Amino acid sequence: MLAIKSKLLHVAVLMLLAFFPLVFLFNPTQLYIVLGSVLFATSVSVVHAYWPPLKLALDQSIEELNFVDYLTMGIVLIFAFTSVREGYVTYAQVFNPLAVVRPDEFYIPLAFTRYGAIVSAYMALAARHFFMGPRFMQKVPGWPRAVLSLMVGAILGVGLIACSAK
C-alpha cells in the first residue's frame, strides 16, 4: 500500500471534505455567495502576497527571466483574474439577480476574466521550460502541455456549444 506522507496533501483533503457540512449550513444560493466572497478575499490576498516578487520580475529584462518569474506572473495573474471574476459574479448575484436578462452585459466581463485566467495558466505551464533543477530532471518544456490544454479546452467548449444547440 502506498503511504502518502505529505502533510500538505492531508490538509488539502481535509479542507475539501469540509465542503460537505457547508452544504447543510447554507442554502445553495447563500453557499455560492459566501464561497464567492471567500474566494474573492483569498485571491486578493494571494495577489498581495506575491506582489513583491512580481515587481522584481517586471524590473528584469526578458533575458533575465527564469522559471520562478514566469510562475510568479502566472500565479499573480490567475488570482487577480479570479478575484475580479468572483467579485463581479458575487456582486451581480446579490445586487442584480436578473443580470442574465442581458447576457451580453453579464457574460462579456466573465468571459474576459476567464480569458485572463487562461493566459495565466498558460504562463504557469510554460514556466516549466525554464526549470531543470536536480529534483525535476524533465527534458520536456511546459509549453507543449500548455498549447495542448488550450486545444483540448477549445474542442470541449465547441463540443458543448454544439450539444446544447440541438
Give me the pLDDT at residue 137, please.
47
Mean pLDDT of 128-157: 63
Q: How many domains does the chain have?
A: 1
Predicted confidence (pLDDT) at residue 101 exceeds the cutoff of 50? yes
Determine, yes or no, domain membership for 4: no
pLDDT-derived band at 140, boundaries 50, 70, 90: very low
**CA distances (Å), 90 to each of 29, 95, 101, 114, 125, in order?**
10, 8, 16, 15, 29
Stretch 133-145: mean pLDDT: 54
Q: Give the C-alpha separation, 44 to 86, whole Å.
A: 11
Instruction: Say whether pTM exceeds 0.85.
Output: no
| Tens-place pLDDT, residues 1-19 | 456 777 777 877 888 888 8
Q: How do residues 79-96 score in pLDDT, each as one tens digit?
A: 898 888 888 887 777 777
Question: Does residue 133 form part of some domain?
Answer: yes
Q: Is residue 75 part of a domain?
A: yes
Please tell me which residue, 116 or 126, carries the higher pLDDT value: 116
* Range of the structural domain that residue 116 is part of: 26-165
Asked if residue 137 is part of any domain, the answer here is: yes
Best CA proximity match to 73, nearest among 135, 113, 25, 121: 121
Q: How far apart are CA 97 and CA 143, in angstroms?
A: 40
What average pLDDT does range 60-81 have in this prediction?
Answer: 82
Whether residue 10 lies inside any domain: the answer is no
Query: CA dist 87 to 5, 27, 81, 159, 160, Å?
Result: 36, 20, 10, 29, 26
Going by the DSSP 8-state scheme, the letter that residue 3 receives in this structure is P
Mean pLDDT score, 108-129: 70
